Amino acid sequence: HKHLIDITEYSADDIMAILETAVKFKEVNERRIKQVPTLKGFTVVNMFNEPSTRTRSSFEMAEKRLSAASLNFGGSSTSSVKGESLVDTVETLCSYKIDMIVVRDKHAGVPRKIADVSGVHVIDAGDGKHQHPTQALLDLYTIWQTKGRLDGLKVGVVGDIGHSRVCGSLIPALKIMGCEVTAIAPPTLLPARPEVLGVDHVSHNIDEVLPELDVVYMLRIQRERLEGAPYPSLREYNMLYGLTEKRNKLMRPDCIVCHPGPINRGVELDSFMADHPERSVILDQVYAGILTRMAALYLLLGGSEDGITA
Ligand code: CP
């Protein structure tokens, strides 16, 4: 592959190759000197036109650990505020003979546009309500490492599914890897036609589904979408769908809890669940962000699975 923009362009074998490469990079990350010369001579531009903590910092760290040169760029500090177009901005950056652009933008479709006009490799780091493919990869890696498999796992995805770019990549990725997926949300947070999601089941009642699940994936409630909406309020959402101490009793003993971050504590997740020592894998997901992004950078820039020099 030249780009990582749409996870549905990747087969189960392609995804597994990335996850297995991430396992190899785990060794690099756990050494005292956490750097390999693997991408020396390559230049990656991180163009973040929207806020980010995890994605931005882990891409930058992944690039440093692979010895690539990084240029961090974007948002209100660029000449886009003076009216410079996206295409002119990209052409300006490409005249530095860069190799890759990692882009986050509030508009869906920006990564594809950059791929079309630039000729360099592009990774989508989250575009509008479209996709966030490296989030899906780090989620799959975490679930695979924790549960020992992906095929046949029962995964519930809970919350603001209709507006979520995380879901735009996660749900197809789980299906590609053979999981059974249930979308769990009030009707107001689902698409008007939930069948477009491609999930196995849709439920409006988390308490009925929780006892069956191997993995419960809580989405961030985008407060701006609930506040002022007739249903549900944030308080109702916590009561009806939030993972609370009470709901812990409904879950299988080995069911794990994922969340992409940032968390709204007391809304979709109570601290009891967010910090639960056996169930919560949220910080494992953050760590997997570096490993899977190292793997994606390396493979897209021409590395092979067996060519890693640790
Ligand atoms: N999960 C995620 O994309 O987090 P950031 O917005 O902090 O990068």
- In this predicted model, what pLDDT tens digit does every residue of 184-240 receive, in sequence order? 999 999 999 999 999 999 999 999 999 999 999 999 988 777 766 767 888 999 999
54 is in an annotated binding site: yes
Tell me the C-alpha distance between 206 and 163, whole Å: 19
Task: For the chain, give every domain's residue range.
Answer: 7-132+289-300, 133-285
Tell me the C-alpha distance between 199 and 32, whole Å: 43
Report yes or no: 158 and 185 within 8 Å, Cβ to Cβ. yes
Average pLDDT of 282-287?
98
Tell me the C-alpha distance between 90 and 117, whole Å: 8
Report yes or no: 100 and 71 within 8 Å, Cβ to Cβ. no
- What separation in Å is there between the alpha carbon of 52 and the centre of ligand 1? 5
* Nearest alpha carbon, ligand 1 atom 5: 52
From the candidates 104, 175, 259, 276, give the one annotated as an active-site residue. 104
ipTM summary value:
0.98
pLDDT, averaged across the chain: 95
Report yes or no: 55 and 134 within 8 Å, Cβ to Cβ. yes
Residue 257 forms beta bridges with which residues?
Answer: 216, 280
* Nearest alpha carbon, ligand 1 atom 6: 52
Amino acid at 262: P
Q: Quick: pLDDT tens for 6-60.
A: 999 999 999 999 999 999 999 999 999 999 999 999 999 999 999 999 999 999 9
> Residue 310: which pLDDT band, with cuts at 50, 70 and 90?
low
Strands 100-105 and 43-48, by their bridges, are parallel
Which residue ranges have their beta carbon within 6 Å of ligand 1?
A: 52-56, 126, 135, 260-262
* Nearest alpha carbon, ligand 1 atom 7: 53
Strand, coil or helix: 36? coil
Under CATH, which architecture does the 133-285 domain have? 3-Layer(aba) Sandwich (3.40)
Q: What pTM did the predictor assign?
A: 0.96
Residue percentage of the chain with pLDDT more than 70: 97
Q: Does domain 7-132+289-300 have CATH number 3.40.50.720?
A: no
From the candidates 3, 56, 121, 132, give the one annotated as an active-site residue. 132
Amino acid at 16: M
pLDDT at 306 over 80: no
